[in-house]
Amino acid sequence: MRHTNIRGLIGRLARVAAAALAAVATMAAHAGAPGITGPTFALNAAENFISQPDGASIYSWGYGCTTGSTPGFAPGAIGNANCPTMQIPGPTLIVNEGDTVTVTLTNNLPTPAGNTSIIFTGFDVQSSGGVPGVLTREAAHGGTVTYTFVATNPGTHSYYSGTQGDLQVEMGLYGAVIVRPSAVPAGCRAVSATLPNGQTDFRLAAAAYSHSSTCYDREYMFQFSEIDPRIHRAAEEIAKCVVAQGNTCATNMNSVATEPYHPAYFMINGRSMPDIMDPNYAPHYAHQPYNGNPHMHPGELVLLRIIGQGRWQHPFHEHGNHVRILGRDGNLILSSTDPTKLAGPALFTTTTTPGQSMDGIFYWTGKGLNWDVYGHKAASVYTDQAFPSYLGRPVVCTPDANGYYTADPLAPNYFEWCQDHNKALESRPFGNVASGGPVTLPDANILATGPWYGGSAYLGPDATVRATGPTGTVPPSGTIGNSPTEEAGFAFMWHSHNEREITTNNIFPGGMLMMMLVDPQAYVIDESN
Residues of the chain with pLDDT under 50: 1-30, 452, 473-479
Q: Report the candidate in 495, 486, 481, 493 with the shortest Cα–Cα distance to residue 519.
A: 486
End-to-end CA distance of the chain: 24
Query: Which amino acid, one-letter code, is at 320?
Result: G
Residue 353 to residue 346: CA distance in whole angstroms: 17
**pLDDT at res. 488:** 72
pTM listed for this prediction = 0.90
Task: Give me the amino acid identity at 218.
Answer: R
As a whole number of angstroms, the distance between CA 157 and CA 173 comes to 15
Asked whether the beta carbons of 130 and 145 are under 8 A apart, the reply is: yes
Torsion of CA 396, 400, 402, 403, to 10 degrees: 20
**Span 35-277 CATH architecture:** Sandwich (2.60)
Supply the DSSP symbol for 1.
-
- The rounded percent of the chain whose pLDDT value lies above 90 is 66
Residue 509, burial from CB neighbour count under 10 angstroms (0-12, 13-18, 19+): buried
Q: Which helix (H) or strand (E) holds 230?
A: helix 229-239
pLDDT on residue 296: 93
> Going by C-beta distance under 8 Å and a sequence separation of 6 or more, which residues neighbour residue 427?
435, 436, 437, 438, 439, 440
- The answer to whether 423 and 410 have CB atoms below 8 angstroms apart is no
Report in angstroms the alpha-carbon separations of 89 from 157, 177, 289, 501: 13, 11, 8, 18
Looking at residue 453, its pLDDT comes to: 52
DSSP class of residue 227?
E
pLDDT digits (tens, 9 = 90+) for 294-337: 999 999 999 999 999 999 999 999 999 999 999 999 999 999 99
Rounded CA-CA distance 175/201 in Å is 24
- 99-125 pLDDT, tens digit per residue, is 999 999 999 999 999 999 999 999 999
Residue 10 has what pLDDT?
36
Residues 133, 131: Cα–Cα separation, whole Å: 6
DSSP state letters, 139-153:
BPTT-EEEEEEE--S
Three-state DSSP class for residue 247: coil
What string of DSSP letters covers 280-302? TT-TTSTT-------EE-TT--E
State the DSSP string of 414-458. Answer: TT-BGGGTT---BSS--TT--S--SB----TTSTTTTTT--S---
Q: In what order do the strands lie in the sheet with 144-150?
A: 57-65, 40-51, 100-108, 144-150, 126-129
> What is the DSSP code (8-state) at residue 373?
T
- Give which of 490, 484, 482, 486 is closest to 524, Cα–Cα: 486
Q: What is the DSSP string of 145-204?
A: EEEEEE--S-EEEEEE--SSHHHHHHHT-EEEEEEE-SS--TTPPPP-SB-TTSSB---S
Domain residue spans of the chain: 1-26+371-495, 35-277
Rg value, the chain, Cα: 25
**Other beta carbons less than 10 A from residue 158's beta carbon:** 22
